[in-house]
């Protein structure tokens, strides 16, 4: 039997007149990586904060690791590692001191934390920064420290709000590898991300949230197949609306986002033929990905969501 790590049932949350989360229900199985995707302001961080018990739902029921939240959130949090969207490290303290203070919060003894620090620094590739003041670290290093800090209590569950935002590509790949290793150890992860590649690589299942409601959910590759299911040709460098009109008869669907035209095609040849002689255009043919799903579901145009 699969055990459930997180369960939300009929959760609603408003801030004043702003209804942020509406009748939200989902479950995350133990050992699973579950993604929350959605445009800015969709309610992802609010959902993460309610799971941690730091934001209170107006209506609905939340259980985390079998514990009722927010009523017994303090107990649940002992087994949870948290990466907030915005770092809350102490800039005046060194890297090691930050880890020590955080370990004390979990009631760990100084010696116990000190024994853990080397492996946490290795996790974040900050081995040579143990005595650096956090205020003197780069933004990406601070983020890596926040990720390492989340592991100090050897949590069963990790709640990560945009864990790799601000990391360079090497660091991001490193963190993906490390999160995979944590999943292989049986940890459960719920993460929010704006990196569709991250969601596609790491998540067993994900949901797309818009205005606090789930608009799609499933396995990344099932969503790509269901929502897109054909090849994509991206073109830029010309008048996008003129190009859109030109290829529309040959495509399943054509969309314009900024300066780029996205053509969804079963047969790429007739569309490519239109662009072949035009050396000013940049043309890319590729398989569909989760970004196409995201853009299709949430609308390509920011203004349409305002």
- The yes or no reply on residue 20 touching ligand ATP (CB under 6 A) is yes
Position 38 contacts ligand ATP (CB under 6 A): yes
Nearest distance in Å: CB 156, ligand ATP: 24
- CB nearer to ligand ATP: give 9 or 85: 85
53 binds ligand ATP (CB under 6 A): no
Size of the site for ligand ATP (CB under 6 A): 12
The CB density around residue 182, as the number of other CB atoms within 10 Å, is 18
Q: Does 164 bind Mg ion (CB under 5 A)?
A: no
Buried b (16+ CB within 10 A) or exposed e, 204-224: ebbbbbbbbbbebbbebeebb
CA atoms within 13 A on the CB side of 218: 13
Task: Check residue 193 for interaction with Mg ion (CB under 5 A).
Answer: no
Question: Which range of residues in 15-23, 87-95, 132-140, 198-206 is near ligand ATP by CB under 6 A?
Answer: 15-23
18 makes contact with ligand ATP (CB under 6 A)? yes
Query: Under the criterion CB under 5 A, does residue 98 sit at the interface with Mg ion?
Result: no
Answer yes or no whether residue 85 interacts with Mg ion by CB under 5 A: yes
Q: Closer to Mg ion at the Cβ: 98 or 192?
A: 192
- Closest separation between CB of residue 252 and Mg ion, Å? 33
Q: CA-CA distance, 69 to 75, in Å (whole number)?
A: 9
Nearest 10 degrees: CA dihedral of 297, 300, 302, 303?
-100
Kindly indicate which of the ranges 41-49, 164-172, 241-249, 264-272 contains the residues binding ligand ATP, using the contact rule CB under 6 A: 41-49
Query: Is residue 217 near Mg ion by the rule CB under 5 A?
Result: no
Asked whether position 164 contacts ligand ATP by CB under 6 A, the answer is no
Binding test (CB under 6 A) with ligand ATP, winner from 45, 63, 164, 298: 45
Least CB distance to ligand ATP at residue 42 (A): 4
Instruction: Residue 287: count other Cβ atoms within 10 Å of its Cβ.
Output: 10
Residue 194's contacts (CB-CB under 8 Å, 6 or more residues apart) are: 37, 162, 165
Cβ distance 88 to 82 under 8 Å? no
Nearer to ligand ATP, 43 or 103 (CB): 43
- The answer to whether 52 and 15 are in contact (CB under 8 A) is no
How does 140-171 read in b/e, with b if 16+ C-beta sit within 10 Å? bbbbbbbbbbbbbbebbbbbbbbbbbbbeeeb
Q: Is 250 left (phi over 0), alpha (psi -120 to 50) or beta?
A: alpha
Q: Does 165 bind Mg ion (CB under 5 A)?
A: no
Chain centroid, CA 202 distance in Å: 10
Under the criterion CB under 6 A, does residue 14 sit at the interface with ligand ATP? no
Q: How far is the CB of 55 from ligand ATP (least distance, A)?
A: 7
Which residues of the shown chain bind Mg ion in the complex (CB under 5 A)? 44-45, 85
Which residues of the shown chain bind ligand ATP in the complex (CB under 6 A)? 15, 18, 20, 38, 40-46, 85
């Amino acid at each position: 039997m699969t055990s459930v790590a997180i369960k939300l049932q009929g959760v609603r949350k408003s801030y004043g007149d702003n209804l942020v989360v509406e009748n939200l229900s989902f479950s995350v199985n133990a050992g699973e990586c579950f993604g929350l995707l959605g445009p800015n302001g969709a309610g992802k961080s609010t959902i993460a904060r309610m799971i941690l018990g730091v934001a209170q739902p107006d209506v609905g029921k939340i259980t985390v690791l079998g514990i009722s939240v927010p009523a017994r959130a303090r107990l649940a949090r002992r087994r949870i590692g948290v990466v907030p969207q915005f770092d809350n490290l102490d800039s005046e303290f060194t890297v090691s001191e930050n880890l020590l203070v955080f370990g004390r919060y979990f009631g760990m003894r100084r010696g116990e934390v000190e024994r853990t620090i080397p492996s946490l620094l290795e996790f974040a590739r900050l081995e040579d920064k143990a005595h650096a003041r956090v205020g003197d670290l780069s933004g990406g290093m601070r983020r890596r420290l926040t990720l390492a800090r989340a592991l100090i209590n050897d949590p069963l569950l990790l709640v990560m709000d945009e864990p790799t935002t601000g990391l360079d590509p090497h660091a991001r790949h490193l963190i993906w590898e490390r999160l995979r290793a944590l999943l292989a150890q049986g940890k459960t992860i719920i993460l929010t991300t704006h990196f569709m590649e991250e969601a596609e690589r790491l998540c067993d299942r994900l949901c797309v949230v818009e205005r606090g409601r789930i608009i799609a959910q499933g396995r990344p590759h099932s969503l790509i197949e269901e929502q897109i299911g054909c090849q994509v040709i991206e073109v830029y460098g010309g008048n996008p609306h003129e190009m859109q009109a030109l290829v529309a008869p040959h495509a399943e669907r054509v969309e314009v986002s900024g300066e780029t035209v996205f053509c969804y095609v079963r047969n790429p040849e007739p569309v490519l033929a239109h662009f072949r002689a035009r050396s000013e255009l940049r043309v890319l043919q590729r398989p569909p990905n989760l970004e196409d799903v995201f853009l299709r579901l949430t609308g390509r145009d920011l203004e349409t969501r305002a």
